[in-house]
Structure 1
Amino acid sequence: MTERSGQAGDATEGPVPTTPVCYRHPDRETYLRCTRCDRPICPECMRDASVGHQCPECVAEGRRSVRPARTAFGGGAAGRHGTVTKVLIALNVLVMVISIASARSGSAIAGGGLGGLMGGGTPLTEWGAVLGLARFPDGSIGGVADGQWYRLVTAMFLHYGLLHLLLNMWGLWVLGRSLEALLGPLRFLALYLLAGLGGNVAAYVFTEPNRFTAGASTAIFGLFAAIFVIMRRLGRDTSAIVPILVINLVFTFTVPSISVAGHLGGLVVGAVTALVLAYAPRMRRNVFQAAGVAIVLVALIGMAVVRTAALAG
């Protein structure tokens, strides 16, 4: 009896098995474990993984160790959403509404060139369009050569009438989403702004100083050139792009109210910028792309400075 009692006492004094609890919620019992670190996790903390389930910390660590997806030219994959394209379109439409409101007449919508389909000028286009140097009816002098450098940027967001706006926004919608997806948002925005600026600088340099020019078509022609360059770089078919570009060039040279210098300037700068972005060597690609874009920008500023000196002198 004594021997049996001693054995029984030994059994009761041994370790008592316990149920595992979640490492984040000690009051919750669980038999689930993270497949990565083997810690107990409750159903609330359980995260689906490629193999089994993981705890929140292991999932976060895995995300940090995965490199973000990049495009073939180093841009972010977020460009596939076309956010920059949509914002640019919204901005152009907003500026058009403000322009119409500033005119307080129907001439801002139609009644201008192309048989009355194009709109006329407004106080806003008079303020922001590219203008070399001219004297206004009130006797004041204005233009880029008079220090109004902002015109080289604002002009790419101004339009003469709804038809002018719709044609350019259609081109931006079609070309912009494809280029933004290929280049990424930041590179696409740099391309768009440089092409627009390049067209405006060309209009400033090669157009009569007292002529107003405005419109997003400077940037749109840059996008046409860019999509051609980038598609060739990727080895894709460009046969559908060439006829559209040729048609637009025919309109450029045959319609009197269109700025030939602006369109060709945007086309050339868009092509050069696309070459920089598409053919930068993979090693230190970001540095080469940034340097190339900066060189193009400095060259445009230099052309504008030389033209200003000629007009102001």
Structure 2
Amino acid sequence: MTQEPIFLQPVCKEKIWGGTLLRERFGYDIPSDTTGECWAISAHPNGLSTVKSGPHKGKTLMELWDRHRELFGGIEGDRFPLLTKMLDAKQDMSIKVHPDDYDAEEHENGETGKSECWYIIDCKENAEIIYGHTARSKAELVTMINSGDWEGLLRRVKIKPGDFYYVPSGTIHAICAGTLVLETQQNSDAAYRIYDYGRTDRNGSQRDLHLRKAINAATVPHVDGFIDESTESRKGATIKTFVQGEYFSVYKWDISGTAELTQDAPFMLCSVIEGSGILSYEETSRKLEKGAHFILPDQMPDFTINGECTLIVSHI
């Protein structure tokens, strides 16, 4: 049986720092005007994508992983390894750090660690991210946190649309106001909040901090995530490699015209962030619209994409 692309219905979530761009830019049905996250390709119990059409319509991605491992090249493991999100940070996100696999296994009740990466879809002028810190030792990190010297501690980096950042576990980080991001990450929801600007939730309570776990998980001194970018041009497509790492490889496909493409990984996660096109294989065609998310399964036949569109693509 010919394998076919698996199109998924995302799950959108309210966040104290969220806005309305996920509806305005991508047409998603958002729960409120403070919607921060779209869990686009997710087999995590905190936000399960469901299949939109085809033989598996209505099943969750977790069900597919559990019952149809042949779609994913038969690779082993009890959880789907990756998670694709879109983030609309209308306000500054809280400053966090994620544990590595070892820490998560010890403290997080079955979660894996969480390394992630960000593709900046769009941002306001002079937008920033917080990426790393200045402390030279854990003792200095503790002192600076306890004294509230956030200006001295946090490294701020100016960003622009099209930038890419690899954020390994242990990196103190935050996306700041006015930024729209596609995030590729390990399939984990483990995060330790260090600082939240003293914000309160709708009940007037300050959000929990997890300082002891955060300080334990933080990489000190800070080390930038390694990126080895390269670009390949071929008929109808420019393919940019951002990272080929331990947990994921991430690419940008810029399609202009007709591109002939091959799915040669156990499976690929694809998100259309701009434009539209037609994906064709054998006798079948599927429309690709901005905001669509789909998986190219194992044994997917060679295919073409015709149109003007940009996709972020990842695989293990």
Higher relative contact order (CA 8 A, sep 6+): 2
Q: Which has the higher helix share?
A: 1
Asked which structure has the greater CA Rg, the reply is: 1
Q: Give the TM-score, by structure 2 length.
A: 0.20
Q: Which has the higher strand share?
A: 2
Q: Give the TM-score, by structure 1 length.
A: 0.20
